Structure 1
């Protein structure tokens, strides 16, 4: 069981023109999942870092992530861990459970997860808030993360691992948000 006091989130490349490129999870599902994560982070006081790929005109982070009102670290390469300010923001937290999501699973999510694991973090990848290039390549990335000791899970599983009592005021808000996420989620098309 995870504790909200030990978890932090890292959202990577959740940018308007990049999310739309997902070949696995629909952009609408990614947006809903990220919106849910933002609400969960606020409810449970979970710190969040955002990293973005350099884009003409700025990072253009999706609205669901930008509502967190946290700085966006613009990286120069495919791994958030390689960017010193991003890495320092993550390692400055005493929380050693890092939940990661973003687009693409095979690039920024994979490399950031592997480097965070190597640095001693317990990493969970939130697959319904990730988008891959193709199902085959995304599954290969997830297998690499699992082989390195990471965990592939969902935003619902993370939330229900963090909040086990739905009768508390916070628990009631989390389960209500989770019901909203489930009601609005359409099944992913078979690929």
Structure 2
């Protein structure tokens, strides 16, 4: 994995939605996603945010992501997959990057379709399981198998970060290492 060829897609990581996670505790999911965003910012990765409406309220990101979300990088959608939204597809294509790290809830819906859609479009898709949450262990496991069968990869935030910045003695690896120290690995 190369930091100059990687972007991060955060999908549906909104407080009321993340609260439904049954596989990754909501606070752990939010913390891992926040560390992934921090690492992405340190490395200069494009950070894109796909959100869905929650009732009649406008979408709001979890606090751990809010500080990383520029208005022009937040994309509301009404579909199960970001790949049906022309604005986010254009934003992905505009980066020129070919590796997409997907973080979101629910693994069985948006993460599955985002990762499989990325692979179908010729991208490398990586799903750090600790920055994703599912509706149940059984259904999430099925979704992760489908992602891998399609050619996507599963990983962890710490693995993604250390592959992107493996030298902890020099910048930017030292800053990435410091960010990772905030993760509670279970």
- TM-score bracket for this pair, using the shorter chain length: over 0.9
For 1:10 and 1:58, locate their aligned partners in 2 and report how far apart those are by CA, in whole Å. 19
Q: Deviations over 1:27-70 (max 9, x none)?
A: 11111111111111111000011001122220011111111132
Q: TM-score, normalised by structure 2?
A: 0.95
For 2:116 and 2:102, locate their aligned partners in 1 and report how far apart those are by CA, in whole Å. 11
Q: Deviations over 1:77-136 (max 9, x none)?
A: 111111111111111111100000100000001011111110000000111010100000
1:53 maps to 52
For 2:48 and 2:12, locate their aligned partners in 1 and report how far apart those are by CA, in whole Å. 11
Of stretches 150-159 and 161-170 in structure 1, the one that deviates more from structure 2 is: 161-170
Which 4+ residue blocks in structure 1 deviate beyond 4 angstroms?
A: none
Contact 1:50 1:70 survives alignment (8 Å): no
Q: Structure 2: state its 5+ residue gaps.
A: none
2:134 maps to 132
Q: Deviations over 1:13-36 (max 9, x none)?
A: 000100000010001111111111
Q: Deviations over 1:125-156 (max 9, x none)?
A: 11101010000000000000000100000100
For 1:70 and 1:165, locate their aligned partners in 2 and report how far apart those are by CA, in whole Å. 29
For 1:84 and 1:156, locate their aligned partners in 2 and report how far apart those are by CA, in whole Å. 31
- List aligned pairs for 1:110-149, cutoff 5 A: 110-149=112-151
- Aligned Cα root-mean-square deviation (Å): 1.0
For 2:52 and 2:178, locate their aligned partners in 1 and report how far apart those are by CA, in whole Å. 33
1:65 maps to 65
For 2:101 and 2:69, locate their aligned partners in 1 and report how far apart those are by CA, in whole Å. 18
For 1:16 and 1:179, locate their aligned partners in 2 and report how far apart those are by CA, in whole Å. 24
Q: Structure 1: state its 5+ residue gaps.
A: none
Contact 2:107 2:133 survives alignment (8 Å): yes
- List aligned pairs for 1:25-40, cutoff 5 A: 25-40=24-39
Q: TM-score, normalised by structure 1?
A: 0.93
Contact 1:38 1:67 survives alignment (8 Å): no
Once the 2 structures are TM-superposed, how far is the Cα of residue 179 of structure 1 from its aligned partner? 1.7
